Amino acid sequence: MSRSTGFACFASALVTALLTVSCASQKARDGLAFDAAPLFGMVYDEENQPCAGVRLSVDGSEGPLSDLRGRFVVPDLARGEHRLVARKDGYEDLAVSLVFLNRTDVLHLRMTSFDQLLGMAQEALRDARFSDAEASLLRAERLDPSDAVLRYLFALHAYKTGQFSAAVGHLAAIMSAGGKQPAVLLFLADIYEQNLGDRAKAIENLEAYLVLRGDPDVEQRLEVLREQQRTAK
């Protein structure tokens, strides 16, 4: 084979290789160029557990429901920007903006439940992170403002931050809703006696407590308060 013939064969092979690479690159680009494609996603809660039964809406239109494993598919989603909202009873609504540019994208969502917000508030109160506790309680309040545990935690937060009258208000709200629980009555008695100096109210709540639960220590405490009240007169 002559040198010129060899060079011609090499040049031909090089051109063929370049064309193959160019076609492969174009094919890859074409795979990303789409008008609409399914968007796959998963919903988890704050404890990284799958969140089933989440109703999704896309750009204001009703969308899919997450399955038992928290998975969902938005079919034929147009390429570009979208607004997605996830809703489930007992959970905070979650709204996200997304830009769908790659058909291989997978959307991961995290939602927070009412109970998880209460748990976050309890942990913050335990660690004296009062601002964090209040933020979690306010978020939970938007989901269920009348919940007795929520109101008790609000009372505990108010008590720990020196807002004793506010604490009484939260506990009274529990009582008004029919939550006449021993722990609430004892908490009220403590605040009235030790923080607000209202012996009569303390006695009233201790008496109500003993109607629900026998307790020798509380009986003794009640007798001391009654004696102090008689002496004061």
pLDDT tens, position by position, 68-120: 999 999 999 999 999 999 999 999 999 999 999 999 999 999 999 999 999 99
Q: What angle do CA 220, 222, 224 make, to 5 degrees?
A: 70
Q: Are residues 168 and 106 in the same domain?
A: no
Q: What angle do CA 102, 108, 114 make, to 5 degrees?
A: 155
Q: Are strands 106-111 and 36-45 parallel, antiparallel or unpaired?
A: parallel
Write out the two tokens for 31: 């795979």
Instruction: Pick the range with the lowest mean pLDDT from 18-27, 104-113, 153-162.
Output: 18-27
Domain assignment of residue 1, yes or no: no
- Predicted pLDDT of residue 10: 42
Percent of the chain with pLDDT over 70: 85
Domain assignment of residue 187, yes or no: yes
Domain that holds residue 66: 36-111
Instruction: Pick the range with the lowest mean pLDDT from 5-19, 168-182, 218-232.
Output: 5-19
- What separation in angstroms does the CA of 10 have from each of 5, 20, 21, 24, 136? 9, 15, 17, 21, 71
Q: Are residues 167 and 208 in the same domain?
A: yes
Q: What is the mean pLDDT of residues 15-43?
A: 65
Give 49's contacts (C-beta < 8 A, 6+ positions apart): none
Q: Give the end of a domain, one of 111, 131, 158.
A: 111
Domain assignment of residue 24, yes or no: no
Tell me, what CATH number does 191's domain have? 1.25.40.10
Domain assignment of residue 16, yes or no: no
Q: Are residues 159 and 226 in the same domain?
A: yes
Domain assignment of residue 23, yes or no: no
Q: Give the end of a domain, one of 66, 96, 111.
A: 111
Q: How far apart are CA 119 and CA 138, in angstroms?
A: 13
Q: Give the end of a domain, one of 93, 111, 129.
A: 111
Domain assignment of residue 120, yes or no: no
Q: Are residues 158 and 204 in the same domain?
A: yes
Q: Are residues 107 and 147 in the same domain?
A: no
Percent of the chain with pLDDT over 90: 79
Tell me, what CATH number does 72's domain have? 2.60.40.1120
Q: What is the count of structural domains for the chain? A: 2
Instruction: Pick the range with the lowest mean pLDDT from 17-21, 30-34, 228-232.
Output: 17-21
Q: Are strands 36-45 and 71-78 parallel, antiparallel or unpaired?
A: antiparallel
Residues in the chain: 233
Whether this model's pTM surpasses 0.75: yes
Domain assignment of residue 204, yes or no: yes
Domain assignment of residue 116, yes or no: no
Q: How far apart are CA 29 and CA 168, in angstroms?
A: 66
Answer whether residue 27 shows pLDDT above 50: no
